[in-house]
Structures are given as structure tokens and as C-alpha cells.
Amino acid sequence: MPTTLILEPANDTDLHLLLSLAQRLGVKATASPAATLSLEERERRFLALFGAWQSDETGDEINQMLQASRQSNRPDVEL
């Protein structure tokens, strides 16, 4: 599955620099002007980078489960 990285250069010079670097690195790169994307589409693309799941637990309960399941393989060190 291809990975998408969205960069928003400040100007055309930076855009051309990034595209040139991508080409030199052998990375497939395409440019689409951010101005043509609606705020909703930009937000949708941003949020698509993250995972989500449904859960009956609250955030506090999930946090407690994560902290309780932490394990360390480091030996105790006395100073």
C-alpha cells in the first residue's frame, strides 16, 4: 500500500526544490495546489493519517489499562 506524505511549501521555489529532491531520491512525487483543496478536504486528508477504534471504555479507563500493562526489561539501578 503506498504511503502519502503531504507537504505544503510556502512558495513555488520551495515546491520545486522538494520535487527536485524527490526525483533525485527516486521517490514518486506529484504536486497539487493546496489552494484548490477545500478546508474540509484538507482536514479529511489529515485525519486519514491516524487510526481510530470504537471502545466502551473512557479515556481515563484506557489510560489506566495502558499504565497497568507497562513493563520494563531494564534492571533496577541503585545510585
In a domain, 65, yes or no: yes
> In terms of residue numbers, what domain contains 31?
12-69
In a domain, 31, yes or no: yes
In a domain, 46, yes or no: yes
Q: How many domains does the chain have?
A: 1
pLDDT in tens, the chain (79 residues): 677 777 778 777 888 888 888 889 888 887 776 556 778 887 888 888 887 778 899 989 999 999 999 887 777 777 7
In the prediction, which pLDDT does 1 show? 64
**Residue 9, exposed/middle/buried by CB under 10 A (0-12, 13-18, 19+)?**
middle
In the prediction, which pLDDT does 65 show? 92
In the prediction, which pLDDT does 40 show? 86
In a domain, 5, yes or no: no
In a domain, 2, yes or no: no
User: What is the spatial distance between Cα 9 and Cα 4, in angstroms, rounded to a whole number?
Assistant: 16
In a domain, 45, yes or no: yes
In the prediction, which pLDDT does 34 show? 59
In a domain, 3, yes or no: no
In a domain, 75, yes or no: no
